Structure 1
Amino acid sequence: VITEVMIGPEPATPKEGEFTARDLRTRLEAFRDKLKQAAGNNEVLIASIDQTFSFPDEKEAGDTGPKTSWESKNFYHVPLAAGVTILSKLQGDIRNMENETVNHLLGSVEQKSFKFNTLTPIVKPLSSYVTVGGKYQADIFMGAYDNQNPPEVYICGPGATIDTLKKEIVGEAIKLPMDGAMAKLEQGAARAGLNTVRGIIKFKPVGGEAETRIFETVYEVAQPNLVVSPSKMNVFYRGVDNPVTISVSGFSDKDIQPSVSNGSLSKGGEGWVVRPGKDRECIVTATVTNPDGSKKTMQGNPFRVKNVPNPTPYFAGKSVDDETIKKAELTASQGVIAKMVDFEFDLRFEVVEFKVTMIVSGTPIEKYTKGPALSGEMKEMFQKAKPGQKVYIEGIKAKGPDGTIRSLGSLSFKVV
């Protein structure tokens, strides 16, 4: 039966097809090649595989004819019991070599494995600061370490770098103190902004070779600020640069994008500059970027919008509160100026016109001029002034930084 199924009538040319001896040999050779591929560089295992799955064509002793194929030698005119024994031996060979190859693969994996005896949960948040309406996000996983075999942890000192090829610190390496198998890092927050810590971890597993890993972490130092909001003085003035500082607790400046209604907003100095428009209110708001990249618009702060108040006119250093002027002060004066008194902004108003009136021999004499300076006729009139006479400076107008013309009223003095 075995001869008919596996070889056929001609032993010199065994038949081919499924379940034949030729098919069995082809499958065994393919299996042998896969085992050798899995064995990698293990020469001992490869030699054992080749020896187990060797299918040579051989001659009988003293035979001068052609070689007998492995198929015919094992399955031509072989009793059924002997054929079953041969197949059982092949099954055993397959199982044995399969086990040896699997053991080799497991051994290769074990060479790169690490033995740990302690597990601890680790929570790694994207950010520990979350605003209302935002999301708290974190990676939660199980960490493992050997509490009997702690690693060594080093960080880069000032000016030091890491050679990523050699996995070593070039320059000053600072060894961190250990608490069991965990290193303790403590650094002073000397300056605001982003700070980067780079270092290496050295670990030598029991019975294995030392391993080195590079790590890097970034943290941000924020400048502590006291925020005071004057609820009755939240005012922007038209026509001038209104400096503001815009911040959102828990977010760095790079993650804050401010905006303003009824006006323009631009960078200026160490903060922002608002120039309001014509409406009576501005609302300053900001959109922040969360650690996960999502955006959130914060509630805005309203500001009233007002025109810059009128300046106070001065003549010879005297204002509306003064009633008298000396003849020497009158003749030495060069003109009229406009000054902002007790105002938050250093603004300049330019006087564009005014007139001077004096009563001479009962007749009012008026002189009008453009600009802030006295005209020649005005100076000549002042030279003739006598004690007791009244000098009126009227119709004073000044141009502000916003381009508007303001009427500043009048001044009057008695010459003494």
Structure 2
Amino acid sequence: MAGGKQSPRQKMINLMYLIFIAMLAMNMSKEVLSAFGLMNEKLTDANTRATEQNNRAYANLATKAADQAKQFGEAKEKTDALKEKADSFYAYIEDLKGKMTSDVKDKKDYETMDKSKFLDEYFFVSGTITPEGKEFVSKMDEFRKASLEALGGTNLAPVVESRFSTNPVKNKDGAQLNWLNYHYEGFPLVASLTKLTQIQADVKATESDALSSLLTTQLDDAVSLSKYDAMVVFDKNAYYPGEKLSGKIVLGKNDPNLVAEKVVINGEDWPEDKIKAGQVILDGPAGGVGDRDIKGEFHFKQGDSTVTIPIKGGYSVIPRPNEAVISADKMNAVYRGLSNPMTISMPGVPSNKVSASAAGLKRVKGDSYMMRPGKGNEVTIRVTGTLPDGKKVSSNKKFRIKEIPPAVGMVRGQYGTVSMPKTSVGKIRVGAGLPDFLFDLKLNVSAFKIKVPGQVAIPVTGTTMNGRAKQAINKARRGDQITIYDIKATTSGYKLKKVLPVVIKVSN
């Protein structure tokens, strides 16, 4: 195509050849854009599935932590802290992606997403990084640090460091570039969109890694014999003088295949017929009044060695009772308007031989009761028990009656000051909650008022905005603080006396 004098026909052929190459390049460019779009779709679907899997893992860990706080509590604390950061970072990226495609009519027409204008202006101005660009990098750094705190000391730390690194990058010419410029300046919109979705995928992968790593570590510890504890479990907590002692010594993991080679209790070898699968049977006289210790050892074979697990426990022998034991299951007071669970019993007296009475008190089953107090500031519970010898003993105890504390107004499950775009404010549902209350109550909102700066307060019935409220919201400006107050809420037919306002700060 070059050199020598060319005829007009040859020049025309050369020109057409160049046009043909350009058309191929354009088609290839469109194919690449479509490929990015399809990749983004697949990543988005994968992120949805990963979210569901992670949520199930979080729920599983929460159950384990509730059942075995010492074993799984620390892992739950770490993953809960990581989840909070992950949810925040994921939502931030999702909001950024929404801004990037807000002007795109057809979200799946990837061939039109070939411009780099949005991020070039959003992240960069006149060769410098904008506050928005710095915020994006800061969010990456924050999540990386949170992930390393959760996974510190594991072999996954280098992986996390690499996933969310914002260190300068060398290009193909060996020049060192800022991380943000290298990855997001001058790239087609769909390519940047896919990169952001990949970061979200990395967030989900990091959550999954943390859950798997921390849970596996705890489970590995759980199966080790060195982690077992011996527990002394009696049929009841205290005994009368002359009663026969009854109870068991049970390992923390009651494995039917786990039988000790030898058990020593209080310096004596225990009979073989009382050493059962994963436990030791205790019987014999309780002794006189006072505290009694039980000390000893389990001996197990592990490979060629012997593992010794210490036994440490005790019990008390007490005089026959002369007063009842009454305890609130969740608090040291009872709340007006609620069914307060209580346990009422007498040491050594069966629940069917114990009766209790008070205004608003009702037996549920056995020694479980429900108290729904009425008027006044105190309630007295009167208990009578019939001892094995037929004698009756009685006892009274007073409980304070308290009001349910003030609830807080909530939107999107958040309270206090909540930031969101103006376009989202009109779609919210107003709720109420008691974040620090001992009871898990469902509060029903029936009405509220909304005040937009510069507009009159508007009353609303129900939990969603009416037409007048939406009109007022449309007049709000960026930075305005919209107050939702005078929230009316009830629970189980009881009207809460006060619900604190919730403030919405208009972000854009």
Q: TM-score range by the shorter chain?
A: 0.3 to 0.5
Bigger helix fraction: 2
Q: What TM-score, normalized to structure 2? A: 0.34
| Higher share of residues assigned strand | 1
State the TM-score, normalized to the length of structure 1: 0.40
